[in-house]
Amino acid sequence: MRAVLISTYELGRQPFGLASPAAWLRQRGHQVTCADLSRQPLPSGAVRDADLVAFYLPMHTATRLAMPVIDKARELNPRAVLAGYGLYAPMNEEHLRAHGIQFILGGEFEQALANLADGRPSPDSLDRLRFVTPDRAGLPPLPSYAALRDGGETKAVGYTEASRGCKHLCRHCPIVPVYNGVFRVVQREVVLADIRQQVAAGARHITFGDPDFFNGPAHAMALVEALDREHPALTYDVTIKVEHLLQHRSLLPVLRGTGCRLVTSAVESLDDRVLDLLDKGHTRQDFFEAVRLTREEGLTLSPTFIPFTPWTTWEGYRDLLRTLARLELVEQVSPIQLAIRLLIPAGSRLLELKEVREQIGPFDPEALSYRWAHADPALDRLAIALLSRIRRAEREGASRSQIFGAIWKLAHQDGAPPPDFHLAARASVPYLTEPWYC
């Protein structure tokens, strides 16, 4: 069978979600073309000749971008079998089928995709898989993707996954409707083999895309210790929940000692009521403790936020800005994180909350989310203005501190000056050059 696997966007990373199933299909003798449309044009000829065209849908942005491409694929090849796979496929099943997608695969999708290519479709499953080393042949080279800026150096970044799913049930998280608390690991030898081939292709830093690297701390520690033995000069970054940073604080020196340079953590809010509504599992004070712990260990914490929710207040937003300044985190927070608005996709656990159901409008199939408006229209206008200002400033090459100053000004129309705060030298704060996280 001739198969085309398509990714539209994966945060500036070379897509694991193409390379992994490509290996499964090629092992079974299928001819596979991988297309990352964030870096290359749609391979129209391959689509015309394909028996199977499968779209990787790991996130909201990728799914929205995929909709017109699905329509184009149907136009180019009406006889091809169309499939959607990844977290956002089952969440948007109705709308994907309206665009012609015939098979919906979420969660552990490799086996199901391989079965589909073999002509014997099987139900979607979260069964444990015996993974194979991803096959990255045909994907754009690593230097064409996001890089790590670290101490004045620019490093090519590889990307892999050591685990999938999550043990936690945060209400706003898109993982929950698919995995519902299930957590799966990718075998250590497979992860190391994938990293090994990316190092050979020029990677000097690895991003682990696990939803939470400490869901399985023993698996994670064995992996990074083996990685450090084999590639002592290689650095890496991970994503870890605030509560796990506190719970497994004894492991932070191991992260630092094995080359971890950056820890992303989905803080979401500094308002304890909002954190409770989101079922995040941590408090405002826990975040302060996580900042202290990571700073003491020499790890750069990169917090992410959802500052605009139906429960956001002017004082709450201004408190967020003041706190980031006071904690000297301005250079560690991507500016776009200060303009993100709560997304309520189909199947979200947020819909369990009566106050959410009472505030939202109907599902918008174009936006792939429920529409909601803040009780104070001025806060909605602020979110829109911030997004526009941040995008423009980033295009102009403004620094994070300069953009923070612009954000402060928009949020303090009374002219209140920002507090005095010390900014770490930009070159001393490692960061990935892809600014989006959604």
Distance CA 308, CA 386 (A): 11
- For residue 99, what pLDDT band results from cuts at 50, 70 and 90? very high
At 385-403, the pLDDT tens digits run: 999 999 999 999 999 999 9
Q: What is the 3-state secondary structure (H, E, C) of 33-81?
A: EEEECCCCCCCHHHHHHCCEEEEECCCHHHHHHHHHHHHHHHHHCCCCE
Distance CA 33, CA 246 (A): 44
How high is the mean pLDDT of the chain?
94
329 pLDDT exceeds 60? Answer: yes
236: three-class secondary structure by DSSP: strand
* DSSP secondary structure letters along 338-355: GS-B----TT-GGGGSHH
According to DSSP, residue 206 is labeled: E
Predicted structure pTM score:
0.95
Distance CA 193, CA 188 (A): 9
Amino acid at 279: D
423 pLDDT exceeds 60? Answer: no
Mean pLDDT of 46-68: 97
Mean pLDDT of 112-129: 91
pLDDT (0 to 100) of residue 416: 77
pLDDT (0 to 100) of residue 414: 77
* DSSP secondary structure letters along 80-112: SEEEEESTHHHHTHHHHHHTT--EEE-SS-HHH
pLDDT (0 to 100) of residue 355: 92
Percent of the residues in the chain that have a pLDDT greater than 90, as a whole number: 92
pLDDT (0 to 100) of residue 428: 74
At 212-265, the pLDDT tens digits run: 999 999 999 999 999 999 999 999 999 999 999 999 999 999 999 999 999 999
334 pLDDT exceeds 80? Answer: yes
Of 34-38, 122-126, 301-305, least confident by mean pLDDT is 122-126
436 pLDDT exceeds 70? Answer: no
At 162-187, the pLDDT tens digits run: 999 999 999 999 999 899 999 999 99
- Output 340 or 413, whichever has higher pLDDT: 340
Mean pLDDT of 53-66: 96
pLDDT (0 to 100) of residue 34: 98
438 pLDDT exceeds 80? Answer: no
pLDDT (0 to 100) of residue 219: 97
pLDDT (0 to 100) of residue 422: 55
pLDDT (0 to 100) of residue 418: 73
